[in-house]
A and B are shown apart, each in its own frame.
Chain A
Amino acid sequence: MTKEAGILNRRDFLARGALGLAALSPALGRIRLPGAAPWLLVPMDDAQGDHLKAYGLAFRLLERGGRAEWFLNYRSGAFLLPADAATTRDAALNGITTEPLDDGQVIQIRGELAGGNMDAVPLEKAPKVAVYAPPNAAPWDDAVTMVLNYAGIKFEKVWDAEVLGAKLRTYDWLHLHHEDFTGQYSKFFLNYAGAPWLVDMVERNRAMARQLGYPSVPAEKRAVAVAIADYVQRGGFLFAMCTATETLDLALAADKVDIAAAYADGTPMDPDASSRMRWEEALAFQNAQLELSPTVPVYSDIDGHQVNSPERRQPLGSFTLFNFSAKIDPVATMLVQNHRQVIPDFYGLTTSFTRKTLKPSGTVLADEPGAPWVKYIHGEHGQGTWTFFGGHDPEDPQHQIGDTPTDLSLHPHSPGYRLILNNVLFPAAKKKELKT
């Protein structure tokens, strides 16, 4: 991983964290309510009434210009917030468990943090969040959109025109979900021929490619992928799930290589595509073997589970979050804060990432012990970072097209969704404005 200026590396992070703590406490102290405990601890262990909305509580405080602290590895990643009227009201309305603390109790907790594998990270600025999705995307077909809505975290939608038009620079955090950056319509083109949703998807993508002056959808999607990689290079935070993870890297590595089926660009896929890929262009993966059949909705052997290939499909197990040193590895520690260490796995068009295709520069955040795949990975690219999380919906393990949307009020403690929200708050921990 490169260590350019502006990256949140471990040493910088520690230094900034210490400065932040010193600056934070007096600032928080000024906005205490008269006669009330000055702090609210938001526990994130099993005492919490709504884990997912707790992230929204912290986010909205930051939006109001307030400051918070994230206690890594303390009570499963608790937050310390000022007990101001707005925050107290917000917590009460949303059923978020809080515990009032006085200054003495806070000092006691800080002592505990100093003595164990724990740390306090200041949260200073609400990141500006963008979700990459086509204009007609159903709000309930993307785990990130669903959990942002549920937690009450504001975001804006962007698509190809905005990405290629340089609007990305105005955002701190970008999420990609099940977009197919190889331009092959999730490889559903042949198997779902005639389905109204597919017809609409194809027409919409073709129209966008024409509008932007590209000869085909695969060509236009590759340009989008390159623009996204450039966004990360310049310091953006990228979070991708499901098939966006795999296809983004395939598109990036397919420099002057035809990896799209004939139905997508008029020419068949290059039979030697696997050997001609330029993996140095990719973010996370290398040396993958591409699926040559246009009728098999599988892209490559990056995905370990191959859910849409009956002969190769692997059963779901569970994945285990890794432990990191909070003081030395705060970024990885932030991304794995959870009240559960072992989480049931869930399918997506890309469910997991085979170990053999991972670049050594990335960090594995969660894997299935003993299995040839991992679930959750993170890495740096230029001045920014990327995090890839396999699978479609943590609370709908067998997700099928047309399934009823997941109602997160039925899963307020979802450990899988917590991992998504860790990613949303992670950019808030940066002290400086992003150099995007």
Chain B
Amino acid sequence: MSRRWVWSAAAVLTIAGLAPALLRAQDPAMSRAFELERRGDYPAAADAYRGVLVARPGEPAALLGLERVLLPMGRSAEIVPEVRAALAANRSSGPVFGVALRAWSAAEEPDSMRAVAERWAAAAPGDETPFREWGAAALSRRDRAGALMAYQRGRERLHRPDALAPELAQLAAADGDFAGALREWLPAIRRLPGYRVTAVSTLSQAPDSMRPTLLRQLEREPDLSARRLQADLRARWGDPLGALETLEGALPGDRAQALEALRGLLDHLRLRPGREARLATGRALELIAERSPDAERSRLRLEAARAYTAAGERDAARRMLTGIADDRSAPGTIASGATNTLVQVLIAEGKLDEAATRLAEHRPEMGGEDYASLRRRLALGYVQAGDLARADSAIAGDSTVDGLALSGRIHLYRGDVAGAIERFKEAGPYAGERAEATERTSLLAMLQPIEADSIPALGQALLQLARGDTSKAVAGLERVATDLPPAQGGAEVRLLAGRLAAAAGKPADAERLFKEAASGDAPGTAPAAELALAEVMIGQHRQAEAVAQLEHLILTYPASALVPQARRLLDEARGAVPQT
């Protein structure tokens, strides 16, 4: 171990308080001083440390202890006499030099700081620590120019162009000189790759306008360190695909190096939101999988498939999954996970028969809950395809609350209002995802006032909605509403039709339907219809009309649960709060 590393380690140990702990066992006076410090009796601890220093003026642990206890008392400058004595008694101790630098800094004596640093450097040739500590002491009194001089002096004395590069980089970044910071970070990373995290964190704060310049600056550098930094920064700056492209083109042949680089970028990509980040994540995982041993490859390919699925890249997801699902050597949980994801992808692509076949083939190795969940997804796929009979058979025997909820929907699509209500009630309000539960509760609220047990036209309209044909659904619902009294479902069905028309970008139809739904004959529905009507008006920048509408709602139905929402919208319409 070189001399400078010995000093650095000693300094770290001492500052962390470990050295006093070790010394405590050896020296009763130091033990007592340390105990007083631990109890928070700083004046007594200072006296005790001073007592040790009278006997041994060059004792670094005592000097550091004295520095520690003077600091919280705001009396740091009082250490100067002890520092002078220590420097005279101990001419080679790094910790003593460090305390001396900080003492002169507190006393605002830059010339003395410089002299101590030079003396320390002479005692430890080739070591960066004296200059690093000198710079840090200057920075502690906000003297950036002094810190810069310390680092530059160090670089000059050490005859190494990369000496103190991290310190100079941070100084440049703090002054807003990100190009200068980049010039320093690169050699720092080349020398010690662990600096990359700090470099990325610092450089990523560069303003938007400077980022292209920094990337071009990196482009001119030929090595992998520069490419990795470039990729990490592009990922941080919202260009995940560009980041991956940068790294992929520079991946070395050495497997370990390539894996380290890819995993480093993956850490950044995983933190980014959005489709492009998911796509880049999938691709990075695929590249890692290609370079990984068999046992790990399946897991990585499954992860990649999930990322591709999240990005909507079904082909790529299927490419990843097909191999794993059919690979009998893949661990059971991985193969099961792959099958699960693959079936979901196939359903999403409308390949229902293939999904059903795969599901049947892999049933033995799947857990019961996973299997039932996939059967329900398959049933939903059949619903979207308009095949209610196969949807029904896909969930036959499924007595879970999720199964009951889905069964209720299928009954509803057949027009069996009474059967749907019964199953929705049995399923309860919590089955399924939150959005699904909310939608089901809304459907139940719409169905309950309806007195008829069966309305096939209503089922047909809702099935068209489930299949994505909103226009036909709106027309169908409006026809159904015409035959229903307002208070017996007519207003609720119109309200739903209006909401669908609004979502489909037909505000005029929506407005007409909401106005009809806001009938005084259906006071349970009118507040919701008035609120929806106001939303349409705001969407068309008719703020004054919306305000009048909302005021009518609040004053006419003051007990409605929608009043707080109406007040919120009223604030937005008046410009009293930011738009959400």
Contact = CB atoms under 8 A, between A and B. Distances in A.
A192 B207 CA distance: 7
A150 B144 contact: no
Interface string A126-167: 000000000000011000000001111000000000000000
A409 B571 contact: yes
A193 B177 CA distance: 10
Contacts of A407: 577-578, 580
Interface string A83-112: 000000100111100000000000000000
A246 to B, nearest CB: 19
Given A150-B571, A195-B207, A407-B577, A295 B140 contact: no
B88 interface: no
B222 interface: no
Nearest to A199: B209
A370 interface: no
A411 B551 CA distance: 22
Contacts of A409: 567-568, 571, 576-577
A156 B70 CA distance: 54
A296 B142 contact: yes
Contacts of B140: 311
Contacts of B558: 92
Interface string A189-213: 0111111100000000000000000
Interface residues of B, number: 27
A429 B210 CA distance: 53
A92 B555 CA distance: 7
Given A92-B558, A93-B551, A295 B207 contact: no
A420 to B, nearest CB: 15
Contact of B176 (A95, A152, A191, A296): A191
A140 B580 CA distance: 13
B576 A149 contact: yes
B368 interface: no
Which DSSP category, helix, strand, loop or mixed, fits chain B's interface?
helix
Interface string A397-431: 00000001101110000000000000000000000
A341 interface: no
A19 to B, nearest CB: 36
Q: Which of B564, B574, B577 has the most CB of A within 10 A?
A: B577
A224 B175 CA distance: 31
Contacts of B564: 95
Interface in A59-104: 89, 92-95
A152 B570 contact: no
A267 interface: no
Contacts of B209: 194-196
A293 to B, nearest CB: 7
Interface residues of A, number: 28
B554 interface: yes
B576 A293 contact: no
A309 interface: yes
Contacts of B142: 293, 296, 309, 311
Contact of A93 (B175, B207, B570): B570
A193 B176 CA distance: 7
Interface string B543-579: 0000000010011001000011001101100111110
Contacts of A194: 207-210
Interface in B135-157: 139-140, 142, 144
B475 to A, nearest CB: 37
Contacts of B551: 93
Nearest to A404: B578
Contacts of B576: 149-152, 408-409
Contacts of B139: 311
A149 B577 contact: yes
Interface in B150-188: 174-176
B577 A293 contact: no
Nearest to B140: A311
Nearest to A150: B576
B555 A295 contact: no
Nearest to B558: A92
Contacts of A150: 571, 576-577
Interface string B213-253: 00000000000000000000000000000000000000000
A293 B144 contact: yes
A295 B144 contact: yes
A341 to B, nearest CB: 28
Nearest to B574: A152
Contacts of A190: 175-176
A192 B178 CA distance: 11
Contacts of B568: 409
A92 B554 CA distance: 8
B310 to A, nearest CB: 25
A179 B357 CA distance: 69
Contact of B567 (A94, A405, A408): A94
A152 B576 CA distance: 7
Contacts of A405: 578
A88 to B, nearest CB: 10
Contacts of B580: 407
A139 B554 CA distance: 27
Contacts of B207: 192-195
A296 B558 CA distance: 54
Nearest to B575: A149
Contact of B554 (A93, A152, A293, A296): A93
Nearest to B547: A93
Contacts of B577: 149-150, 407-409
A262 to B, nearest CB: 15
Contacts of B570: 93
B491 to A, nearest CB: 25
Contacts of A93: 551, 554-555, 567, 570
Interface of B: 139-140, 142, 144, 174-176, 207-210, 551, 554-555, 558, 563-564, 567-568, 570-571, 574-578, 580
Given A152-B574, A295-B174, 16 more contacts: A93-B555, A94-B567, A95-B567, A149-B577, A150-B577, A190-B176, A194-B209, A196-B208, A293-B142, A293-B144, A295-B175, A295-B176, A309-B142, A408-B577, A409-B567, A409-B568
10 contacts: A92-B555, A93-B570, A192-B207, A293-B142, A295-B174, A295-B176, A296-B142, A311-B139, A408-B577, A409-B568
Q: State the 3 A-B residue pairs at the shortest beta-carbon distance, nearest first.
A: A194-B209, A405-B578, A149-B576
